[in-house]
Amino acid sequence: MRVSWLNGPRKWAAASAALIAIGCLAPLVTGTAASAAPTWAPSSSAAIHPGVQLFTAGAQCTANFIYYDGTDVYIGQAAHCSGTGGNTETNGCTSGSLPVGTQVAVTGASKPGVMVYNSWLTMQALGEKDANTCAYNDLALVKLDPSDVSKVNPSVPHWGGPVGLDTTGTTPGEKVYSYGNSELRGGVTQTSPKEGTSQGDTGAGWSHTVVTYNPGIPGDSGSGFLDANGNALGILSTIDVGVPSGVNNGVGDLAKELDYLHAHSTFTAVQLVSGTDPFSAGTLPGLGGGLGLLGL
């Protein structure tokens, strides 16, 4: 059974043996040429970056990456973060969502952002029928207020990057990296960086199954994943807590999600922005007390 994890006070779901859906100049890393990106805030002091918390009508999610179209700056979240249905409603072609234009509170921003694109709503408007696309296309864009752009840095905390966009998927055993920021951690930031391994691709490449040693928890939904080379791989969408190997994460393929956005919306110029900090696999922070194994 596939269950939605629409994290936050509005829709934190209890985990139970089921698949659970869970915020200098840098070049644009994919697509056609666009205007030079803004001058980003230093990564050491930027208030807005991949990994900040986003709140949509009370539902909490983690931002994945920063995007730019030559005019506006966007921060990404999972489309299901604005979902209005029950915990089992994860099919983007049939599940309800708050409308485009919904305000989203962005941690670190002085003004709310605005959800301007939602893959679920787009697929429903188009009458999308492909089962894999409906199941795994889980991307929304939140446009930041221009007054907050000077506070943005596109680097992923702890790991750096992204250095590009992964367009080839993963192979079993490949390392992956992420950064979750759920409020359930109570400020214990040592558990935010995640390292794991890919179990391979599913859904005709629309999703990647990964195991992280520090599993995702409610509030991490929507966070970005990097591949072994620091390329943006995808977005945390589901968690399978009923598998023999432990906790598996379902990561929607970002390249396919962006291709869908470009082909079926007016946001044809939107591109992923690379981080100003170089990618470094490094090591995980000291966790102590088994916190990393619990994900809390």
pLDDT in tens, 185-233: 656 566 689 999 999 999 999 999 999 877 676 778 899 999 999 999 9
Asked if 217 contacts 295 with a C-beta cutoff of 8 angstroms, the reply is yes
Token pair for 260: 């869908």
Q: How far is residue 296's CA from residue 125's CA, in Å, rounded to a whole number? A: 39
Which pLDDT belongs to residue 292?
32
- Region for residue 82 given its phi and psi (left: phi exceeds 0; alpha: psi -120 to 50; beta: otherwise): alpha
| Residues 6 or more apart whose Cβ sits within 8 Å of residue 8 | 55, 58, 59, 60, 61, 218, 219
The overall average pLDDT reported for the chain is 83
pLDDT of residue 277: 98
Pairing between β-strand 140-143 and β-strand 73-77 as defined by DSSP bridges: antiparallel
7 Cβ contact list (under 8 Å, min separation 6)? 22, 59, 60, 61, 81, 182, 218, 219, 220, 221
Q: Residue range 235-250: average pLDDT?
A: 73
Place of tokens 């992280």: 212
Q: Tens digit of pLDDT for each residue in 62-98?
A: 999 999 999 999 999 999 999 998 766 789 999 999 9
Share of residues in the chain with pLDDT > 70 (%):
76
Report yes or no: 47 and 108 within 8 Å, Cβ to Cβ: yes
Which of 123-127, 149-153, 283-287 comes out lowest in average pLDDT?
A: 283-287
Answer yes or no: is pLDDT of 18 > 70: no
pLDDT band at 241 (very low <50, low <70, confident <90, very high): low
- Given this model, what pLDDT does residue 53 score? 95
pLDDT at 284: 82
pTM assigned to the model: 0.86
Query: Is the pLDDT confidence value at 101 over 50?
Result: yes
Over residues 110-120, the pLDDT tens digits come to 999 999 999 99
Which residue's structure tokens are 């922005």?
A: 273
Higher pLDDT, 216 or 280: 280
Q: Structural domains in the chain? A: 2-275 (2.40.10.120)
The answer, yes or no, to whether residue 264 has pLDDT greater than 80, is yes
Q: How far apart are CA 237 and CA 38, in angstroms?
A: 29
What local confidence, expressed as pLDDT, does residue 245 receive? Answer: 54
The pLDDT score that the predictor gives to residue 248 is 83
Whether pLDDT at 251 is above 90: yes
